[in-house]
A and B are shown apart, each in its own frame.
Chain A
Amino acid sequence: MAGKPAIAIASLDEKKRKYLPTKSQKSEKMTLTHTLNVLDEIESLVSDQLQVVSFKWLSRNFSLSSNTAKRLLKDFVEKHGKGLEVVYIVSGCLKNGPSNYSAKLASSTELPEVEKEFNGKYSVHIYSVQASVPMDPAAIWNAEFVQAEDLSRQPSATDNCLRGNRFCGISNSFVKRNIEGTTGNVTAPRTESVRTNAAPAQKGTVLSNQGKRFQHSNANVSHQAKNENNTAPAQNQSAKSSSDNERSLLVPPNKKNGLGEKSVSGTGGLLKNMWGRVPVKTEDESAKVEVKIHINDHSEVQKPSHDADNKGGSEDENQDVNFKRAPKHENRKRKVILDFSDEEYEDADVISLASPSSPKVNSRPDGKFNSEDSCPEKPDAGVSQEITFDEPEIREEDREKTAVDASTTLPMEKIQAIGSEAEVNPSKRRIIEAPSSPKRKKMLKSRIDDRGREVTEVVWEVTDTKVKKEEDTETSKKLNDGKNANGVNRAVAQKKSPAIGNAAATNAGGKAGSKKGGNIKDPKQGNIMSFFKKV
């Protein structure tokens, strides 16, 4: 109900703003025609729209001071008040509590009674006019509150009469409103920053990490993270807030503000490490999606060659391909540090470093140079305590990618294979523990039982990746001959995929990938990859 007249009056407001004389030219009183216009408006609102018009509502709507609005209402009631109900506000000191201030609403019928309760100098003003007083007096407040809500919904940077507190009788020049700190759209800047950071991997990681941290911890600084080249948003913020506050009143609270913001961003960083990883993860996944689009692009380019390779069908070529990539990933492997956290957290930490790694994966021609360049960056990014593990990262990417574009999963599978390869071929690299999920492997074990007979059985064993790797280093580096069952399966899957079709390959690849981490299946359940296995 309040919406309709608000729009009509807003346009009226605009017209007034255009044509009214400037402050210096204005006379002290409103022009007569203007007053009459407003009074007509009030009449239509109250009688036709059945809205409650309080003096505050009037003052905000027509940009009048409260005192003027009160006078206007008084004029209105005198001229058009017939048939309308008026609510008065009586304020002052009560007789039975001489120093206590009291303000009471009263209808016109009870006004004389209420006035008697007050002593000495008290004031009576019209609070509101309406067609009829609602049963619950609190409903008088509704129209005003709707107006306040609309004003509060305006973008934070706009100063309006709610925020500026313009129309009251008291001014306070020491009040300052910090417009910099907005809780505005946080997602937009973040994706932007990731997009541009995906390419220049070096600076990007540091910034995107910082940017994300600040965005999480301090809404005030969030939109400043937009500024990718600004490496110290927090400092800017505090500088601004300190410049805002020159007066003594403001110094303590604003020091706190500045400090608070800093400390919040600081603790925000800590919090993020403690348990904020979950939200970080989701956003980083979105970041990954962004980055993955790049992967897509790269992979599109590379795909024909892949296909060519596969169609060629020669194992050697595949091996070559994989061979080339292995060292790259071995370089990456170097950065793996010990992690005691859950896999989820690994993912989150991994994700933050995903941007340099994924272009590395895809930019094959640049290959080694790229990886070597960006490798040392990782520790510098200040995440040395966190673990990067390619496996889950790639798997994640794979899963996400399958959602994005099923047809281009082929290269992803290859990447997966490479990931496993990298894991498989540590050779002399210093590689520390595996991810926390145990890896199960089907193993043929032969033993002598209590009767002296040799028994060979198939056993699901939880093996240490290290052990597995050691085993594998003994074998040849050829993918297909690797003892890593999953690797074998995947390689086979690669070969078979053009034949079987992409969808199946996707599933196979996906399953193979998930097997790595989540091989906690029922050992009695057969391995589906055995279907593809060459005995």
Chain B
Amino acid sequence: MEIDSEKIHERKQSEYNYLDERFEIHKEMYRGQQYSQIYFARLHLMRTLLYSLAPTWKPHLPVCKVLGLEEGKDCIIVGTLFKHMKLKPCVLDEYSKERSVTPLVKPHNFMHPDDNLILEDESGRVKLGGSALSPAIYVTGVVVALHGKETSAGEFFVEDVLEAGLPPQIERPIDLQEDKYVVLLSGLCIGSKSANPLQFQLLVDHITGHLGDEEEQGLAAQIVHVVIAGNSVEFPRKLINGQNLASKDQSTLYEPIKELDIMLNQIAAGVSVDIMPGLNDPANFALPQQPLNRCLFPGSAPYNTFRSCTNPHSFDVDNIRFLGTSGQNIDDLDKYSEAESKLDFVERTLRWRHLAPTAPNTLGCYPFTDRDPFLIETCPHVYFVGNQDKYDNRLVKGSEGQLVRLICIPKFCETGIAVAVNIKNLECHTLSFSTQVRI
């Protein structure tokens, strides 16, 4: 209504492409199939790939199947790794021990010095020995090529390992002149005690251009896309105990989603926003998690800028490929292997060309019959993981000139930090908000 003499910035625009079809499940029918099919699809695709890479790696060696191994003969075998872990929780334990009411959160690692690796393909299994392959790094479900020979003990002594490596990448457009930012955040946990709504409001105000002076608002106008990577709400656990809810409890249950919807409404009114489901969100448990239902967001759903997406999520902004998850895959790797930093896990999944190798072994997954949607076929330019403990990023260079920015997005409710990626040069920085006020 009022016209001010101030400048109103125009938000920058970008081309957006939605690439989540492979993660959507609406056409799949569950016919009681088992997980062997997804493993078979994975092995089949990866093996074709590794067979094509093997000649360049070790040209003189023959490639054979597990059953075709001969003692003392040097060869290459390709198969799926299985890590036998002593401490890995077995589902039968739930029935033998006393069960506690609250969901058991086991953050610790299940590794043990006695863990060993086994290679398996459709013909058989063979135990792996040697020190080239460290059980601490690998997990069940990774497909690799191994060079070695069978020992008299019946083991396969590994001399060298070939991973699939970074997939091919589409060239980044070199003509991007302007700075355009994509903001990534996760772990809002609206409804939990640790969430600070004022903090999120400050972020929303910044993105939509209320905060700061003109210059800052001009910077905010360069934000072209926002992605919320999971765990946006947290429902009070005590209410969900299988009993009917009293009406006052029902409204308590609904409050977090309503709050989230109003905030998303504010964002969607100004900029394109994607919301992904996470572990605590009202979506299905097994990966790939399906998009949050639009009915949960009556205020935000009418906007053409609002998108509810799957987890994992893949999209293009101005032909820059983004791929990311809400963190379940990396958290699972953390339980069954070790690394110095979370980014190591992220990099490993990229080199193994598989988003979630531990699925379906220890990570819930849909039993696909004809494909494995978690295989990374094209290398993304930005690969993000949500709900991590702290912010971290790394630029990874591939053997064929691929350049990937790996980002660990911290939980916003704990840190107040969101990440902004500049798609012009893949640089990223943080947006942090603090509401500590002392009188």
Q: Which residues of A contact B (CB under 8 A)?
A: 17, 20, 23, 26, 28-30, 55-56, 59, 63-68, 85, 87, 89, 91-92, 97, 99-107, 109-110, 121, 123, 125, 133, 137-138, 140-141, 144-145, 148-149, 152, 156, 162-165, 167-179, 181, 183, 219, 244-245, 248-250, 252-254, 256-257, 263, 267
Contact = CB atoms under 8 A, between A and B. Distances in A.
B123 to A, nearest CB: 40
B438 A109 contact: yes
B4 A101 contact: no
B210 A178 contact: no
The range of chain B's interface size is 35 or more
Given A101-B420, A101-B431, A219 B295 contact: yes
A144 B216 CA distance: 22
Nearest 9 A/B pairs, CB to CB: A170-B209, A165-B269, A169-B217, A168-B209, A169-B209, A172-B11, A123-B213, A141-B198, A66-B210
A254 B210 CA distance: 28
Interface of B: 1-11, 13-18, 26, 196-199, 201-202, 205-206, 208-217, 219-221, 258-259, 261-262, 265-266, 268-272, 295, 298-299, 301-305, 307, 420, 427, 429-439
Contact of B304 (A68, A102, A140, A253): A253
Given A169-B6, A169-B9, A100 B429 contact: yes
B210 A168 contact: yes
Contacts of A64: 1-2
Given A164-B269, A165-B208, A168-B209, A105 B298 contact: no
Contact of A178 (B10, B15, B304): B304
B201 A144 contact: yes
A99 B18 contact: no
B4 A28 contact: yes
A172 B270 contact: yes
Contacts of B266: 148, 162, 165
B269 A162 contact: yes
Given A28-B3, A175-B304, A168 B436 contact: no
A109 B197 CA distance: 24
Residue among B220, B299, B302 facing the most chain A CB atoms (10 A cut-off): B302
Contacts of B202: 89, 103, 105
Contacts, number: 223
A163 B14 contact: no
A248 B15 contact: yes
B205 to A, nearest CB: 7
Given A253-B304, A253-B307, 13 more contacts: A26-B2, A91-B206, A101-B420, A105-B434, A137-B198, A138-B196, A138-B197, A145-B201, A145-B259, A152-B261, A170-B11, A170-B209, A249-B16
B304 A23 contact: no
B343 to A, nearest CB: 18
B265 A256 contact: no
Contacts of B16: 249, 252-253
Contacts of A29: 5
A58 B18 CA distance: 38
6 contacts: A28-B5, A67-B6, A102-B431, A103-B432, A172-B270, A176-B304
A152 B262 contact: yes
Contacts of B433: 102-104
Contacts of A85: 439
Given A64-B2, A152-B261, A162-B269, A172 B431 contact: no
Contacts of A107: 437-439
A174 B304 CA distance: 9
Residue among A87, A99, A253 facing the most chain B CB atoms (10 A cut-off): A253
B219 A168 contact: no
A168 B439 contact: no
Contacts of B221: 169-170
A170 B215 CA distance: 11
B390 to A, nearest CB: 14
A170 B9 contact: yes
Contacts of A123: 212-213, 215-216
A123 B218 CA distance: 13
Contact of B217 (A104, A149, A170, A183): A170
A102 B269 contact: no
Given A152-B265, A163-B265, A87 B212 contact: no
A121 B258 CA distance: 37
Residue among A104, A177, A256 facing the most chain B CB atoms (10 A cut-off): A177
A66 B214 CA distance: 11
Contacts of A257: 304
Contacts of B11: 170-172, 174
A257 B308 CA distance: 11
A163 B210 CA distance: 15
A109 B196 CA distance: 22
Nearest to A254: B304
Contacts of A87: 437
A165 B429 contact: no
A531 to B, nearest CB: 41
B302 A101 contact: no
A100 B208 contact: no
